[in-house]
Amino acid sequence: MSADIVTPYGRGKWGDDDWNTVVQVNVNGENRTMITVQASFSFLLLFGVLSLSPVVFFLRKSRKEALREMPLMATIGAMFSMVGAMTTGFAYCVVQLQLMEVKKIYIVSTLMTALLEPATYSILFYVLYTIIHLFRDRILKTNTRLTLIVKFIHWLIVGAFAALVIVGWSWFVLYINSTVHDEFIFIKQSETFGKIDAARCILFWLGAWDILAWSFYLGLMASRDPSKTKIKNQMSVYFFIAACGFFLATNFVFFIYDVMYDLAESTPQGAISEGANAIQEVLRFVFVQGCFFALIMCYWRLPGPEPESKSKDIEEVISQNGIIDRTGQMPTEVEGNKSITHSTETKKGLSEADNSRASDISSFMLGKTAKVSEVDGSNGILEADSELVHEAA
């Protein structure tokens, strides 16, 4: 009898698989329905966000001056990050639905989805906080030390969220690598990744509340804006509030589902039904699409910066209202028989008064047309005849 040759597995492993191992993807009926729903809404979100991206490019070109300070490139980056996440997620679902024989390297698509989707929300935090700061500066028109402190705290939050995404993804890579190589340690790594991902979802949800609160504050301030662009400012801020609301709803969905999966240790894995998972996919599609659409409407309705008042415009207003600007005019000494003149640094004198306007003023005061006699400086002041005054009256 020939003895069976037993190949010992590596330390801490129950198999000898690696990334080049060919496997047959098997999906049962219940999971197949869920994967079909996931693939469908991943494709819809991919198509929806991709169709909105040319609008941002168009606004960036057509309203370059008005949107000069807006984070349009960061918005485009967030949109393409979401497109990449949905593309890799859709590809992973197609492989599972087609029951293909593939190498385990196809699991890399899940690694890309796990990186790009949280990165999208981190970029959106940067976009929304930037718009908050720009709206605040434009509406309130104040820049105090407290304002600088608030901006610093917001950028610190964005940096912490980005670092948390990188740390969580790193643990996810270790977890996937251990499952590919059939290592027993994958269980411990799975628990660690679950806690990090749950912490990220909770912090993202709390940060989204902060953004929504700031948007409501800006909406209240925009309703009191006395500028000529009040209505346009209000509409832009209202669309921004809608974008913040959709962003909060998106993070709330992930908060609920990830906490139920990762932190509820008393609940067995898979206790959430496939129908509930399908609802999560539907809500993610609606809220993410709504967030990007509301942001685009915010950019579209944003008025341009108010033009600064120029001296030329002021002179036109003065001339139209018959106001004479005597700034810088200095009186000169008056000699006996010379008229009174004024001198300025830029002008030699003022034009004579209009005789017809002087006649109109005197007729208004005396009740009839009267001639204004010239006053000779060499002559003294004559007393008024009382009879002539009564006759004039």
Residues 262-288 pLDDT 10s: 655 544 444 556 677 788 899 999 999
Does 258 fall in a domain?
Answer: yes
State the Cα torsion 159-162-168-173 to the nearest 10°: -130
Measured CA to CA, the distance from residue 239 to residue 228 in angstroms comes to: 19
Does 362 fall in a domain?
Answer: no
Considering just the CA atoms, what is the radius of gyration of the chain in Å? 38
The predicted structure's pLDDT at residue 183: 66
The predicted structure's pLDDT at residue 197: 87
Does 265 fall in a domain?
Answer: yes
Does 370 fall in a domain?
Answer: no
Query: HEC string of 156-171?
Result: HHHHHHHHHHHHHHHH
CATH assignment at residue 70:
1.20.1070
Does 262 fall in a domain?
Answer: yes
Q: In the numeric block, which tokens belong to residue 332?
A: 């000169």
Measured CA to CA, the distance from residue 53 to residue 73 in angstroms comes to: 11
The predicted structure's pLDDT at residue 276: 74
Does 56 fall in a domain?
Answer: yes
Does 323 fall in a domain?
Answer: no
The predicted structure's pLDDT at residue 186: 66
Q: In the numeric block, which tokens belong to residue 54?
A: 């040319």
The predicted structure's pLDDT at residue 318: 47
The predicted structure's pLDDT at residue 89: 92
The predicted structure's pLDDT at residue 268: 47
Residue-number span of the structural domain to which 150 is assigned: 22-301
The predicted structure's pLDDT at residue 124: 96
Provide φ and ψ at 354, rounded to 5°. -75, 120
Distances (CA, A) of 341 to 131, 325, 331, 333, 379: 57, 16, 7, 9, 19
Pairing outcome for strands 22-24 and 342-343? unpaired
Measured CA to CA, the distance from residue 39 to residue 91 in angstroms comes to: 8
Distances (CA, A) of 352 to 340, 341, 355, 356, 393: 11, 10, 9, 12, 29
Q: How many domains does the chain have?
A: 1
The predicted structure's pLDDT at residue 52: 93
The predicted structure's pLDDT at residue 3: 40
Residues of the chain with pLDDT below 70 are: 1-17, 28-30, 182-186, 225-233, 261-274, 304-393
Would the CA dihedral through 298, 249, 119, 80 be positive or negative?
A: negative
Does 372 fall in a domain?
Answer: no
Distances (CA, A) of 246 to 44, 215, 359: 17, 12, 71
- Judge residue 80's burial from the number of C-beta atoms within 10 Å of its C-beta, 0-12 exposed, 13-18 middle, 19 or more buried: middle
Cβ-Cβ contacts under 8 Å for 362 (sequence gap 6 or more): 369, 370, 372
State the Cα torsion 279-282-288-289 to the nearest 10°: -160
The predicted structure's pLDDT at residue 362: 47
Closest CA to 128 of 289, 239, 17, 220: 239
SS3 336: coil
